[in-house]
Amino acid sequence: MSLRFDWYPSFQHEEVISRSDFVVDKLITKGMAQKTKDDLKRTTQQILSALYGAYTSLPQGTTSVSISLRSGHYSGTAYSFRVVTKIYECLSELKWIKSRKGSEHKKKVTRMWASGELSVAFDELLFTWIPQEPKPKNALVVLRNFEHPESKTKKGRGKKIDLSVPETAEVNQYRSDLYRYNQFLLKHCISLRLDDENLNTLATEMMNKPKEDRETWETEEERVNCLDIRRLQLRRIFSRGSLEQGGRFYGGWWQGLPEIHRPHITINGKTTIEIDFSTIALRILYAQQGIQVDLERDLYDIGLEDWSGDSDPRRKPIKTYVNAILNDERGNYRLNNQKQKLIGISHHDLHKRVLAYHEPISHLFNSGIGLHTQFIDSLIAERVMLRMMEEDKLVLPIHDSFIVNVANAVRLLVAMPSVFEEIMKAEIGLSLSKIKWSHEFSPKEEEVRRRAENPNYRDEIIQHRVKELTGPITIMEEYLFSWMKLKEELIAVDKR
């Protein structure tokens, strides 16, 4: 796969910076304007950072950096076609990259990979935790719409394009809050508790993820089918040309991880748990109608025989269908044959049962209201993230759920329903994911509270192992240890 060079973070490492300076020195000419010099330095740093990010993505060797050599692609962007072209040509002359040129006639982009001396340098810091430059505030809020939103067909609407974002006080607040959150996030190490064999198995699984799964994501940038644990920073993406549609947070690598593997995520080497809002979209709609729904009521139980609650295999496709038809204004959405067969009833019967079970809000289905409920849940998510951050506790959002260190689970269990009630004036339930340590078990909420509240409880923290006694350090341990070492060095500097 190939990702655009400007989709990668800018890495603040002496190896990247020194090589960037080397390229810039070769390209600066006498009398060159200072602005051009600044653009040259910034763009070179970005392109080399992208090459490093692609080089260290897993499975190794499967990800390239895309770069356009057509001037029209740079209109309205933060980069200059002339500057990008100069850097590309210089890297080619230095033999620091190998590339596959795109076709101008077919409007294909050029793909490139680190090579030669540059790849040797990258090998030296292959799985090192490296500080990142926070994305600029003006890049953190994105407004999108279709090319032809008035079209009645999906094909006719065309692809999604970025629109100009209104410069309002509200937008500036969104940007400032997310910038602070990204700064906070970039101080932490988000990794996986997996050995090398399982890590590569996971990366291969992500690479082979079915196309239909990737197409459900909001933006092409998020349709990433490689494992790149350096993709941390979030943006808010609004839809349909409205700042009250969508607005969810995208960009974190953990969001693309298959759900079954999320329990392996660690924050600073510590075990995590995922906490979900229960049926948040439907409960938002009920709350807006002034209807309080029993917290114990399963809103996806539409009366099928032998229903077994959360563990019922039919629940997930029903959930997919219910949430899809909130946005399906034309009534065209259908589950695929496999999912429909699993539910065991016809499409017509499924639709009829959903409307009957949710009769008080049935008029809202097929109305396009789903993107507005996403906007509401994005406001809730933002407030939860900021509230936890103010307590120096990091949570990782996955739209309507959060990943948090087990030791901080109790605080999150309090914050999530509290924020929902503040905004919606209604109550909501929560559900907890499975925790995976050295063995698997599924604790109840009471078990999480007991462990987190126990003053003698210590979460599993990976300590540096002696190679001679325990074997080689894994890729993920190497990544974590490099973060620990840098953190200790920074603390030492602060104490001087």
pLDDT in tens, 216-267: 444 555 567 789 999 999 999 999 999 999 999 999 999 999 888 899 999 9
Query: How far apart are the C-alpha atoms of 476 and 127, rounded to whole Å?
Result: 8
Angle of the 370-390 helix axis to the 409-424 helix axis, nearest 10:
130
Residue in the structure block whose two tokens are 């807006």: 288
Query: Does 397 sit behind a cis peptide bond, omega within 30 degrees of 0 on the bond before it?
Result: no
Q: Taking 90 as the threshold, does the pLDDT of residue 90 lie above it?
A: yes
Query: How far apart are the C-alpha atoms of 480 and 188, rounded to whole Å?
Result: 10
Pick the CATH number of 2-126 from 1.10.10, 3.40.50, 1.10.3470, 2.60.120: 1.10.10
Distances (CA, A) of 397 to 183, 316, 369, 453: 15, 20, 22, 23
21-25, 306-310, 355-359: lowest mean pLDDT where? 306-310
399-413, 424-438, 460-474: lowest mean pLDDT where? 460-474
Q: Where are the domains of the chain?
A: 2-126, 137-280+370-453, 300-357
The secondary element (H helix, E strand) that includes residue 145 is: strand 141-146
Q: In this structure, what token pair is assigned to residue 311?
A: 């563990």
Beta strands in 220-363 (DSSP E): 235-238, 246-250, 265-267, 270-277
Q: What is the pLDDT of residue 149?
A: 83
Beta strands in 290-426 (DSSP E): 395-397, 401-405
pLDDT tens-digit map of 351-395: 999 999 999 999 999 998 999 999 999 999 999 999 999 999 999
Mean local confidence (pLDDT), 407-418? 95
- Name residues whose C-beta falls within 8 Å of residue 149's C-beta, 6 or more positions apart in sequence: 157, 240, 241
Q: Give burial (CB, 10 Å; 0-12/13-18/19+) of 125.
A: middle
Q: Give burial (CB, 10 Å; 0-12/13-18/19+) of 61.
A: exposed
Q: Taking 70 as the threshold, does the pLDDT of residue 452 lie above it?
A: no
Query: pLDDT confidence of 466, banded at 50, 70, 90?
Result: very low
More confident call, 103 vs 20: 20
Query: How far apart are the C-alpha atoms of 103 and 110, rounded to whole Å?
Result: 8
Q: What is the pLDDT of residue 443?
A: 38
Q: Taking 60 as the threshold, does the pLDDT of residue 93 lie above it?
A: yes
Of the candidates 436, 399, 477, the one whose C-alpha atom is nearest the C-alpha of residue 261 is 436
Q: What is the pLDDT of residue 431?
A: 86
Contact 18, 46 (CB under 8 A): no
Centre a 10 Å sphere on the Cβ of residue 137 and count the other Cβ atoms it contains: 16
- Strands 141-146 and 235-238, how do they pair? parallel
Count CA atoms within 13 Å of residue 404 on its CB side.
27
pLDDT tens-digit map of 176-227: 999 999 999 999 999 999 989 899 999 998 888 765 554 444 455 556 778 9
Name, of 2-11, 57-66, 88-97, 203-212, the range with top average pLDDT: 88-97
Model-level pTM? 0.87
Q: What is the pLDDT of residue 473?
A: 83
The three-class DSSP label of residue 156 is: helix
Q: Calculate what percentage of the chain has a pLDDT beyond 90.
A: 67
Mean local confidence (pLDDT), 145-159? 83
Query: pLDDT confidence of 173, banded at 50, 70, 90?
Result: very high
pLDDT tens-digit map of 110-140: 999 999 999 999 998 888 999 999 999 999 9
CA triple 375-423-428, angle to 5 deg: 95
Q: Calculate what percentage of the chain has a pLDDT beyond 70.
A: 87
Query: pLDDT confidence of 279, banded at 50, 70, 90?
Result: very high
Q: What is the pLDDT of residue 104?
A: 53
Alpha-carbon Rg of the chain, whole angstroms?
A: 24
Q: Taking 90 as the threshold, does the pLDDT of residue 423 lie above it?
A: yes
Mean local confidence (pLDDT), 51-74? 89
Q: What is the pLDDT of residue 75?
A: 75
